[in-house]
Amino acid sequence: MKNKFLSTQKYRFINYSFLQRMNSFRIHSQKGLSIIILALIPFFAKAQDYDLLLKGGRVIDARNNIDAKMDVAVKGGKISKVAPEILVSSAKKVVDVSGLIVAPGLINIHTHVFAGSNPGFSDGQSSQLPDAFAIRSGITTVVDAGTTGWRTFPDFKAKVIDPSVTRVLAWINIFETGFSSGSAFEPDMETLSVQKTTEVIQKYPESIVGTRIGHYKGKSWVPFERASEAAKIANVPLFVECHMPEYTLQEQLDHMRPGDIITHAFENVSERMTVVDEQGKVRPFVLEAQKRGVLFDVGHGGAGFWFNQAIPAYNQGLLPNSFGTDEHRTSMNSGMKNMLNVMSKYLIFGMSIPDIIARGTWNAAKSIKREDLGNLSEGAVADIAVLSILNGKFGFVDSGQNRIEGDRKIEAELTIRAGRIVWDLNGLAANTYK
Amino acid sequence: MVSFNLFNLLAWRSLILRMIVLFVFIHKAGSAQQHDILLKGGHLIDPKNNIDALMDVAISNGKIAQVAANISESTAKKTINVSGLYVIPGIIDMHVHVFQGTDAYSTSVANSSRSQQADAFSFRSGVTTMVDAGTSGLRNFRTFKAQSIDKSQTRILAFLNVVGNGMIGRFQEQDVTDMNPEMNPYMIKKLFPEILVGIKSAHYWGDFTSVDKAIESGKLADVPIMVDFGEHTPTNSIESLFLKHFRPGDIFTHTYSEISSGRESIVDEKTKILKPFILEAQRRGVIFDVGHGGGAFSWSQAIPSFKQGFLPDVISSDLHDLSMNAGMKDMTNVMSKFLALGMELKDVIERSTWAPAKVINRSDLGHLSIGAEADLAVFNLREGKFGFTDVRRVSVQGSKKLEAELTLRAGKIMWDLNGISGEPWKN
């Protein structure tokens, strides 16, 4: 507090409550400065205080238990203040967001974004560029799902992570070069290094959020166990993906620790047992795993989301903790489309808007142990999504081309990344043509 | 024996009769489902064929099979109800940058992540054909073809850059010795005539050398050139470009750009008057392409010129990293801007389908004539309050916005926003 107090005039008057402000006023008065000058300082200071003020929106911030009409002020790329009424005169730029939802920037924990020139996913044509999909969906953070391993991660970082506007994080594959073809394979066990995997996590803690297993066609549990062991050593979660035909669903869940994440939760493919049985009941061992703290990610993808799984699961309490899209070449134009479309499906199932926002932001952030993200606490990086709820007649399809209808759909109006407006669908922050 | 033979004959007759009945039946059943897909009840806008009316469209074997006021549902394996929606030829976006890759030496859009993947932007905007605007030149076109064109479901055509290295960096684009007017025509006419539709001249800092070398190639290859009359200080005269250098059919892109230096505007920035030679140039066959991009669409050019009777010939996006999340967004957004400006829907459709097809000499595209490849877009026209932003963050309000409901490429459904081709889910 002492340090803050000694900082600039400007800073003092934005961060302090009214009472504190009066205190500072009194202290200055005691120093014998002119009362008139002092009275003017906060005025002038205020006029320049914030870079951006989002005015009149419905703020939904699960981390801080907020679901109310609030103003959000941004300064220096950070959330500066969240309060019911912040003066318009205190900001350089004011954007009227009344009628809209103001949420932390959304987090997509399942993507494939090592887009490049090769065939396949790794530095390849099957992955998507993060900025092409994230920003227009209100997403400010994506997590690549193991497209790279410890050998290929630095290349990924240089080519995609560093130049992207979107914050790109990664699950590191236990396979040293990640995966490239979409089908399962069997790596040389000698190449599965717990030590190297742990080292790369520790070397890039700001980028790598956990380990990943998937695309393994063998019977041995060595790859799974090594991925799990590296995660344990690095104190990060394990992300369990698809295409492991020899492992049963129950075995996979049994091998997972609380906080580990299984994706493609609601898939209905021959390769893996479904979470819902033939009678439409969620299998007891799945609910048991959920109770134990295993997290379920949507991981929609091209084939990973079926209404005959997701709807009974939803009704029986098996809810996704996050809305990973599994974005790649073949999912992007299918029933998946983008993360807002995936979230809208849950709106149609009956999930409340605050609950959906929580799973798209704070829950996702916690699951990757990045509690600096997914919230609008004062001082947090100003990653913000301003969303609208469209009313109309909409249809949503699953991976089997089955369709449900709904009357609402989520759309991204404004996306702010570290305080900068990077998406503005309808020109809310623009000047009107004269 | 005789009786046996008679029996045999009768049996044969009976069999033949049965076969005839069966044949007729099969034939009928076949004809009952002669079409693969029927789009029923939509409002068809097909500028080439002068259609702007309620029409059904039937598709067989990836081609347009029938267009008529009422085609029976029983003729199709699958019928999609598109009533209340607009059915149009697949959009042709004549100006994009889709040579996506990770070449460490590229500082611009060639073989870099500054280019985008075609399929990520095309179908969700009703686009079935994209024309890459000179991202590659004769040295790297084959790389572009192998890694982007051949891998995409979108039809990708291309303008070949007059510079052999294409757009790998601003400095390389100045290299006059890398502009090969003899080899470029071989690439276009002999080697890749199905893909290469013209020559691009862009970002040149000097005089008319780049334009003239492009025209020299264009003449030999019998194709148009597209000019981004970019970055000259002081600016070169666009009047001279249009009336002294261009042939009829050559393309001026970034029509509505208004930048402080480097490129002359079509509307006088102070008086807001459309320069007198613009309409004259258009009459003489100069093609004006929108090429919105990240820096080349200002309302201060578009609105005054529209009011003074000037309309662009072609509407296009100039898709790349710096345009996609800014005022451009996607092709439907750019098209919707012209609705906001006051252009008729059918004129907007024409300028993004049949008009670009003609400009690039691909009269097989951009229409729904019987026998044409079944590239179609089904649009809904959203009503509401929308804002459209230019490259200077200046916005104009509009009440209508195009949205791509369904996109078909060669008869195959590539995009279905609301699942109108899906089956209702049953619990």
At a CB cut-off of 8 Å and minimum separation 6, what does A66 contact?
A: A59, A60, A82, A376
- Non-local (6+) Cβ contacts of A403 within 8 A are A395, A396, A397, B419, B422, B423, B424, B425
* pLDDT the model gives residue B231: 84
Burial B41-62 (b: 16+ CB within 10 A, else e): bbbbbbbbbebbeebbbbbbeb
DSSP strand E in A76-230: where?
78-83, 94-96, 101-104, 106-111, 115-118, 124, 139-149, 167-173, 208-213
How confident is the prediction for chain A on average, in pLDDT? 91
Task: Indicate which of B117, B127, B258, B272 best probes the interface with A, i.e. most A CBs within 10 Å of its own CB.
Answer: B117
Among B85, B113, B306, B409, which would you mutate to test the A interface (most chain A Cβ atoms within 10 Å of its Cβ)?
A: B113
pLDDT (mean) for A385-411: 97
What is the distance, to the nearest Å, from the Cα of residue B427 to the centroid of all Cα atoms in its chain? 41
CB contact, 8 Å: A80 with chain B? Answer: no
A131 touches B at CB < 8 Å? yes
When CB atoms are compared, the residue of B116, B394, B419 closest to A132 is B116
The answer to whether residue A34 scores a pLDDT higher than 60 is no
CATH number assigned to the domain comprising residue B168: 3.20.20.140
Q: Is B78 among the domain residues?
A: no
Q: Which of B119, B143, B416 sits opposite A397 (nearest CB)?
A: B416
Q: What percentage of chain A's residues is helix, strand, coil (to nearest 5)?
A: 30, 30, 40
- Per-residue confidence (pLDDT) for residue A9, from 0 to 100: 32
Q: How many domains does chain B have?
A: 1
Residue B343: inside a domain: yes
In the predicted structure, residue A40 carries a pLDDT above the cut 80: no
Whether B177 is in a domain gets the answer: yes
Print the domain residue range for B227: 91-368
Chain A residue at shortest CA distance from B110:
A117
Q: Do B418 and A396 touch (CB under 8 A)?
A: yes
The answer to the question of residue B382 being in a domain is no
A18 interface with B at CB cutoff 8 Å = no
The residue assigned the tokens 């003066």 is A87
For B49, which DSSP code? G
Asked if the C-beta of A292 comes within 8 angstroms of chain B's C-beta atoms, the answer is no
Q: Do A125 and B113 touch (CB under 8 A)?
A: no
Rounded CA separation B256/B315 (Å):
11
CB contact under 8 A, A332 and B415: no
Q: Which of A119, A136, A163 sits opposite B325 (nearest CB)?
A: A136
pLDDT tens digits along A316-360: 999 999 999 999 999 999 999 999 999 999 999 999 999 999 999
Q: How many Å apart are CA A206 and CA B404, to the nearest integer?
A: 39
> Which one is predicted more confidently, A34 or A364?
A364
pLDDT above 80 (res A35)? no
Report the 10 Å Cβ neighbour count for A428. Answer: 18
In a domain? residue B36: no
Integer Cα distance of B255 and A316 in angstroms: 57
ipTM (interface predicted TM):
0.91
The yes-or-no verdict on residue A67 having pLDDT over 80 is: yes
Closest alpha carbon to A60 in A376, A414, A416: A376
| pLDDT tens sequence across A263-307 | 999 999 999 999 999 999 999 999 999 999 999 999 999 999 999
Q: How far apart are CA B197 and CA B224, in angstroms?
A: 8
Spans of chain B below 70 pLDDT: 1-32
Cα of A313 to nearest chain B Cα, Å: 13
As to burial, measured by CB atoms within 10 angstroms (0-12 exposed, 13-18 middle, 19+ buried), residue A227 is buried
List A residues 311-330 in contact with B (Cβ-Cβ < 8 A).
Answer: 311, 329
> DSSP label at A60?
E
Tell me if B35 is assigned to some domain: no
| pLDDT bracket for residue A164 (50, 70, 90) | very high
Residue B122 in any domain: the answer is yes
Average pLDDT over residues A101-122: 97
Q: What is the mean pLDDT of residues A34-50?
A: 55
Which tokens sit at B263? 């490129």
What's the predicted TM-score (pTM) here?
Answer: 0.90
Specify if B197 maps to a domain: yes
- Whether A431 contacts chain B with CB within 8 A: yes
Chain B neighbors of A165, CB-CB under 8 A: 325
Cα-only R_g, chain B? 25
